[in-house]
Structure 1
Amino acid sequence: MVHAAILTLDECYASSAGGFADILQVANAHLRRQQGAAAVQFAWRFVSLAGKPVTASNGLQLQTHALAPHERYDLVFIPSLHYGGRRRFEQILDRQAGACAWLLAQWQAGAWIAANCTGTFILAQTGLLDGRTATTTWWLERQFRARYPDVDLQLRPVITESDRMLCAGASASYLLQAIRIVERFAGQAIAAQTAKSLLIDVSQTSQVPYLPLLAERMHSDSLVQRAQHWLQSNMTRELRISELAAALATSERTLIRRFRAALDQAPLAYVQDLRLEAARALLETGDQGIDAIAGQVGYRDTSSFSRLFRQRIGMSPGAYRNRFQVNSAP
């Protein structure tokens, strides 16, 4: 048996914890069919520090086994946790000293550890990710970097692997993560059969098409706020930084300095992101041609627009439409 432990914490997502086990169960069915009853299969337990019932974020009660100090597993999975605000989330993290010590011992004994979405924070809390590559859900990037500055956080890949540790992006990426685990322990053929059985698209290897270009950044700089409003109203025009500075009655140097301090980018880069986000919305909801969309968001040269779109979004405008267009047909 490949012995797996699913570390079940209060406020975890039941879909992440239970779904991971479901995929192992389907893999077992393929293993038995291909290799017979004697096949090496997955066995799992839902575990917690005290071994008491755990309440998932949706209110579901999950029965668990207590963590046994000397019991060793081949694999440990940390499901994603519900994020109820920064303060509450960090309080949850600060209560995990016992779980972190157990995770460290499991890894040192040779176990693989897979952390999903916000579960990556738990793994980072052990110190094991310091100096190693990891990923997590994109919208908690700044909080993760602030709390764990020694981790090499990468948001482009859906899954990262480093020294027997697999980290994955936003919660639903546990599907891809579980398939990767099945491949690691049972081989590529069983992993492919499992993915096909469950309609899991294993071609999704990048988070880039899902990442917003305009991350919300709270600031109180009134000059920058006025600049943002002006740029949003004029983004389809050919813009010069001198024109923006004149409209705001300030110098170009002051404008650029304060814009960078508030939003960590230059004003014209902000305009570029505005245009691309507008193009995304048009591709998702409309049926205009690429030429028309490029012109509508402020680009006269379609080839330049397409090249920039691919560079920033990770795929061509046409491919993006094929994947994300909302079907309005009844």
Structure 2
Amino acid sequence: MKHITILVLESCVLEAVADPRYMFTAVNQFLEANNQSPLFQIHMVGMTPEVNLQNGLFSVHTDKLLDDIQDTDLIIIPALFGDMTSALEQNRRVIPWIVQHYDRGAEVASLCVGAFLLASTGLLDGKRCSTHWAYAREFRQMFPKVELVDGSIITEEKRLYSSGGALSYWNLLLYLVEKYTGREMAILASKYFAIDIDRDNQMAFTLFNGQKDHEDLEIKKAQEYIEKNYTEKISVDELADLVALGRRSFERRFKKATNNSVMEYIQRVKVEAAKRSFESTQKNISEVMFDVGYTDTKAFREVFKKITGLTPLEYRNKYHKRPAMAA
């Protein structure tokens, strides 16, 4: 039997505690219905017998305290809520406990921004990790030794698992079910919970608002120019001249400030504009392509799919209320 510890943390997301319990409990029931023994022993574990969440609106009664757990096979770190620095400080006491059990052979899975707590253990240093796309920049600033994988739904490395944003943690839960029980049970669970079992990225859900939480005024000026003139063909030299910097110095400072190369940033601004057009207008793919400054259909499709994980037609059909015909 696999022992699963679901941590009930201060300032955690209630659903990220309840949903893993629901998933593994349901799988036990599926196994029993198939005349098999239940596989999972599940405990909700906290620092205190009762954890109040969302200013006392909800409370969770834990099954056990940290010190009650001698051995466990899988530790699930739920998503955190609110300010990450504050949430990490509130749960500081859990960090050595996670490390201790990992060293004893336990696997550890973080859901969404639970990755911040997993990264705080130091176990992710030099390894890959996923988290919510909206927290990617903050994560990189806080944990520069961790390789954050943009857009990924599930990342696994050396008994450490992490998931992308928000409800994509269901895909990680399915992944773990498949690992422990097999493909057939994972498919059954996916159908029961109505989850797309093989969704492998969160790129289509990403909103690009520009990375301007830095103090480099020249780079901000270049960013604003790109965002106002994305319909035009913009060169790196043109931008460097605009802010009176040499090309190499400009490219280096731009990458440091935004975590994107200049051309990546231009592409992301153009694709974000194209996404908005696909969502809200009746324009066909060629019209949108020209509107955002592309003249090469193949190049536009390749860049769009690289950034969103979908072709332009797939994106339009998914997010526009009326499916589009191929252009």
Pick the TM interval, shorter chain: 0.7 to 0.9
CA shift, 1:318, in A, is 1.0
The 5 Å alignment of 1:251-330 reads: 253=247, 259-260=254-255, 262-265=257-260, 269-326=264-321
Unaligned runs of 5+ in 2: none
8 Å Cα contact 1:159-1:166 kept in structure 2: yes
Secondary structure of residue in 1 paired with 2:108 = strand
Alignment correspondent of 1:57: 54
Cα separation, partners in 2 of 1:176 and 1:244, compared to 1, 3 Å = closer
Cα separation, partners in 2 of 1:186 and 1:267, compared to 1, 3 Å = closer
User: Percent identical across equivalent pairs?
Assistant: 29
Cα separation, partners in 2 of 1:316 and 1:82, compared to 1, 3 Å = same
8 Å Cα contact 2:112-2:165 kept in structure 1: yes
1:23 paired with 2:23, answer yes
CA shift, 1:133, in A, is 2.2
Amino acid at match of 1:40: P
Amino acid at match of 1:12: C
CA shift, 1:242, in A, is 6.0
Cα separation, partners in 2 of 1:259 and 1:164, compared to 1, 3 Å = closer
Give distance in 2, aligned partners of 1:240 and 1:103.
49
Secondary structure of residue in 1 paired with 2:196 = coil
8 Å Cα contact 1:116-1:169 kept in structure 2: yes
Cα separation, partners in 2 of 1:201 and 1:142, compared to 1, 3 Å = same
CA shift, 1:90, in A, is 1.6
Give distance in 2, aligned partners of 1:227 and 1:161.
37
Alignment correspondent of 1:32: 32
Secondary structure of residue in 2 paired with 1:62 = strand
Alignment correspondent of 2:74: 75
8 Å Cα contact 2:9-2:91 kept in structure 1: no
Secondary structure of residue in 2 paired with 1:80 = coil
- 1:187 equivalent among 182, 188, 203: 182
Cα separation, partners in 2 of 1:327 and 1:14, compared to 1, 3 Å = farther
Secondary structure of residue in 1 paired with 2:201 = coil
Cα separation, partners in 2 of 1:303 and 1:105, compared to 1, 3 Å = same
Cα separation, partners in 2 of 1:316 and 1:6, compared to 1, 3 Å = same
Give distance in 1, aligned partners of 2:102 and 2:152.
23
CA shift, 1:110, in A, is 2.4
CA shift, 1:244, in A, is 5.6
Alignment correspondent of 1:126: 121
CA shift, 1:10, in A, is 1.6
CA shift, 1:268, in A, is 5.1
Secondary structure of residue in 2 paired with 1:195 = helix
8 Å Cα contact 1:2-1:40 kept in structure 2: no
Q: How does the TM-score come out when normalised to structure 2?
A: 0.86
Give distance in 2, aligned partners of 1:101 and 1:236.
52
Amino acid at match of 1:287: Q
CA shift, 1:165, in A, is 1.7
Cα separation, partners in 2 of 1:125 and 1:214, compared to 1, 3 Å = same
Alignment correspondent of 2:86: 91
Amino acid at match of 1:198: F
Report Cα offsets for 1:75-105 as digits up to 9, x if no partner: 2111001023xxxx22332343431222122
Amino acid at match of 2:13: Y
Which structure exhibits the higher relative contact order, with contacts defined as CA atoms closer than 8 Å and separated by 6 or more residues? Answer: 1
Give distance in 1, aligned partners of 2:237 and 2:32.
69
Amino acid at match of 1:71: Q
Q: Which has the larger displacement, 138-147 or 260-269?
A: 260-269
Give distance in 1, aligned partners of 2:255 and 2:308.
22
Report Cα offsets for 1:172-214 as digits up to 9, x if no partner: 1221111112112222111110110110111211123233445
8 Å Cα contact 1:135-1:155 kept in structure 2: yes
For the aligned residue pairs, the C-alpha RMSD in angstroms reads: 2.7
8 Å Cα contact 2:76-2:110 kept in structure 1: yes
8 Å Cα contact 1:20-1:174 kept in structure 2: no
Q: Which has the larger displacement, 67-76 or 256-265?
A: 256-265
The 5 Å alignment of 1:40-55 reads: 40-50=38-48, 52-55=49-52
